[in-house]
Each structure stands twice: as C-alpha cells, then as structure tokens.
Amino acid sequence: MFDRSRRNLAHWFALSMGGILFAFAGVGYCLNVEEQLRFFDEELIQQGKTLATKTQYSLYQRRQTPTKNGMSLNGGLVYARWYDANKQLIQFIGSSGTKQLTATPGFQTVPTQSPAKTIWVRQLTLPVLQNQVLIGYFQTATPMNSLRNSLNQARLFLTLGVPVTFGIIGITGWFLGELAMRPTHRAYQQLQRFTADASHELRTPVATVLSNAQVALMPPEDPSEQRFRLQKIAETAKSMSTLINNLLFLSRHDGSLAQTILKSVDLSELLRLLAVEFAAQAPTQNLNFSTQLPQHPIILQADADLLKQAALNLLSNAFKYTPATGKVQIRLFTQSHHALIQVEDNGIGIPATDLPHIFDRFYRVDTVRSRQTGGFGLGLAIAQQIIQAHQGKITVKSIVGQGSTFQIELPLN
C-alpha cells in the first residue's frame, strides 16, 4: 500500500515538475530565438542602411533596364536590390531575383537557391523616401547560418538537458515520496501495533468470560460454584470496561488541547483533594503516604480533570508497586516558570533497560505482576499523553529495589 502511494507521489511529482520544466524550456527557447533574431535583424538593418546610403538616389530618377552594380557586397550580405516606386528592379548586386518586387517591406526568412544547395536567408525590404515621397525600394539579405548554428546548439542542449533533468526530477520524486510517506507509515505501524495489542489484551478476558459463562450455564451441581463463576465474569467484565475506557481515553485525547477548553486551575488545591483519597487508601495497604503541597495557590491554564487523571495514574502506580510498610510522597513546587509535581516511592523500582519504554502503550515491566495488579500498561501512556497535551513533560528516575520518582513539569502561563 505504501509502496504504491510512494510510486504515485513520485509519479505525480515527476509529471508536474516535468511539465513545468518542459514549459520553461519551451518558453526559454522561444525567447532565445526571438532575442537572437532581434539582434540578427538589427545588424542586418545596420548593414542594409550603410549599403543603401552608398547608392545615388538619382538612379531612381533614371529609367533603365536592370543592371548589375559594380559595387561589391561586404558584411556577409548575399544580395542587394534596388526597385523603383513601381516595384520594378533597377539595379542589383549579387543575384537579381525577380524583376518585380513581390515582398512587402520588412523582414522575411526566405530560401535562396545557391548552385549547391538551398540557403535560408533573412531578407530585409525597405521603402526609400525622398522629401517624404516614395521613390523606390531597397532589398538586401544575409545568410542565417550563424543564427541557425547557434539555435541548433541551444536545441541540442535542450534535447540532452531536459531528459537528464527529467530523470533527476523522477529520482528526487522517488526519494521525496519516501520522506513524505515516512510519518504516515510510522503512524500506520503504531496504529497497527496498538490495534494488535488492544485485541490481544481483550482476547484473554473474553476467553475467561466465555469459559466461565459456559460452566455457569451447565446444570448447577454446586450453587456456590455457579456463583463463583458469575463473580469471575463480573470481575473480568469490569477489567475489560477499564481497558476499553483507557483505550477510548487515549484515542479521544490525542494531540494538544484546544485553548477554549483550558481553564484556570489551582494545582495545589487539585492535588490536595486527590491526596485525601489516597490518604484514606494508604492504611489499607499499610503504606506511609505523605504530601508536600504549598498552602498558596499555583494557577495554570489546564483541563483539571485530565491533570487529575495524570497525577492519579502516578499515585496509583506508586501504591501498586510499593510493598507494605513502604513510603509514597507527592510534592508540588515551582521552579523557573514551571510547576513541578513529583511522586516518589521506595517500592520495587524499574530496571534501567525498561525505563526508556515504560511510557509506551501496553508496556509492562513484569507482565505477570502487572496483570495481578490489574494493569494493562496504559496508565503511564495516558499520563504522558495528558501532560504533553498541556505542553509539559513527564520524566522518571528509578533504581531497582530502591524506588522511583516520577516528575511532571508543566509551564506556568
């Protein structure tokens, strides 16, 4: 799928850029022809005028049969012809052409017959005026060899240069296609992994529900067994519901938050209320839970529910992964325009090799242990997503057997 998209991208890139290249080459060539022709014509007109002024205008007064002028042509001119006001040839140098002038005044590109081959010449026909009265016409021509050679060179350059450039464009398009597809490819792979992980996580509880339901549906031999099965189904369904909620949460809150939903939140107050809930839970796990929260408000623009969820996930983990008699502490303070929340425990800690991955979705250090605690490996991914959506960052320091400290850093506006 991605290879096809990449090919399509390269294809369209090459076509569009190639089109532009051809258009530019075409326009450039035409402009070049026009420019060279203009120079060529200017030179011809100069030479023609010089030659015409050497001629006595008086020859127009005399009616005579066409005669060959004794003058010689210079500057590469092929012929020079003088006609009277009735367009009849009076005098010429070089070839005489027709006796009657057929060309209109101005420039023409015409073939002229040389003994060996046809030569293309640029012909100039000028009206000759005396005291504002038309007394005749002057015509001269120069061969176009030099111009044709120069244009041939330009054509050769374009014939070789354009396909080579087109090839380079094609190769560039192929690499650009790869670059353009890379983020989509990565996102697609992530999505695929996420879907596979989510399905995998749901498969086990669904199988548990199914097998327990099948046993529960059998004629009851022991009512307590049936009740146990139903209880198991209820528990598994609850854990599935948590997983589904977490998955929905992750998909809904992807990306940064809209400014409109951000409100002024007092972080001290928010964490104080959260700490009350955990303080009540601590004795049941025989944990020593303490807080270090400032008395004064620390205000920032945030979504209070989301921030509470992030802090809750860190505290839940600290409670989950700290054995009885252990210590858990939550702290809040400010430092260089940032609010810092730290959740510290002296629990089991995290191995250094796992630390770079623990914020990945579905990543669990000890799968068996996490499953026992009901963890799906989504709590830290959710916390990180929330904090990043608030332009903050979440970091961790941990030593196996000594404990972990998670830190949330949020910008103060």
Tokens of 247: 């998955």
Order the strands of the 327-335 sheet from edge to edge. 288-292, 327-335, 338-345, 403-411, 393-399
Amino acid at 299: I
378 binds ligand ADP (CB under 6 A): yes
Does residue 404 interact with ligand ADP by CB under 6 A? yes
What is the full DSSP assignment across 154-166? HHHHHHHHHHHHH
41 binding ligand ADP? (CB under 6 A): no
Rounded Cα gap, residues 306 and 265, in angstroms: 11
Least distance in angstroms from the C-beta of 198 to ligand ADP: 14
For residues 189 and 194, give the distance between their C-alpha atoms in angstroms, rounded to a whole number: 8
Per DSSP, the three-state class of 334 is strand
**Site for ligand ADP (CB under 6 A): which residue of 379, 385, 389, 408?**
379
- Binding status of residue 364 toward ligand ADP by CB under 6 A: yes
Residue 342 in contact with ligand ADP, rule: CB under 6 A: no
Pattern 294-313, binding to ligand ADP, x per CB under 6 A?
-------------------x
* Amino acid, res. 291: T
Based on CB atoms, which residue is closest to ligand ADP, 91 or 236? Answer: 236
By CB under 6 A, tell whether 366 contacts ligand ADP. yes
Determine, following the binding rule CB under 6 A, whether residue 44 of this chain makes contact with ligand ADP.
no
Among 10, 233, 348, 410, binds ligand ADP (CB under 6 A): 348
Residue number with CB closer to ligand ADP (193 or 263)? 193
Residue 403: which residues within 8 A CB-CB, separation 6 or more?
322, 326, 344, 345, 346, 347, 348, 349
| Comparison of 164 and 368: residue with beta carbon closer to ligand ADP | 368
* Min CB(330)–ligand ADP separation in Å: 12
408 binds ligand ADP (CB under 6 A): no
Q: Which two tokens stand for residue 298?
A: 């620390």
Helix (H) / strand (E) containing 41: helix 2-53
Compute how many residues bind ligand ADP; rule: CB under 6 A.
23
Gap between the Cα atoms of 413 and 407, Å rounded: 19
Q: Output the smallest distance, CB 403 to ligand ADP, in A.
A: 7
Whether 340 and 298 have beta carbons less than 8 Å apart is answered as: no
Please name the residues in contact with 394: beta carbons below 8 A apart, sequence gap of 6 or more: 310, 359, 380, 383, 384, 387, 388, 406, 407, 408, 409
Pick the closest to residue 380 from 312, 300, 326 (CA basis).
312
**Environment class of 126 (CB within 10 Å of its CB; exposed 0-12, middle 13-18, buried 19+):** middle
Task: DSSP letter for 242, please.
Answer: H
Q: Assess 345 for contact with ligand ADP (CB under 6 A).
A: yes
Binding mask 319-338 for ligand ADP (x = CB under 6 A): --x-----------------
User: Considering beta carbons, is residue 84 or 201 the nearer one to ligand ADP?
Assistant: 201
Nearer to ligand ADP, 138 or 376 (CB): 376
Q: Is 6 in the site for ligand ADP (CB under 6 A)?
A: no
Nearer to ligand ADP by Cβ, of 14 and 380: the residue is 380
Burial 14-23 (b: 16+ CB within 10 A, else e): beebbeebee
Q: Single out the segment in contact with ligand ADP by CB under 6 A; choices: 154-162, 191-199, 278-286, 378-386.
A: 378-386
Per rule CB under 6 A, is residue 375 in the interface with ligand ADP? yes
CB neighbourhood size of 392 (10 A): 21
Name the minimum Å distance from CB 316 to ligand ADP. Answer: 7
Using CB under 6 A as the binding rule, whether residue 370 contacts ligand ADP is answered as: yes
Q: Is 384 in the site for ligand ADP (CB under 6 A)?
A: no
Interface with ligand ADP includes 365 (CB under 6 A)?
yes
Closer residue to ligand ADP in complex, CB, 169/314: 314
Q: Which of 169, 287, 307, 358: binder of ligand ADP (CB under 6 A)?
A: 358
Q: How far is the CB of 379 from ligand ADP (least distance, A)?
A: 3
Interacting residues toward ligand ADP by CB under 6 A: 313, 317-318, 321, 345, 347-350, 358, 363-366, 370, 375-381, 404
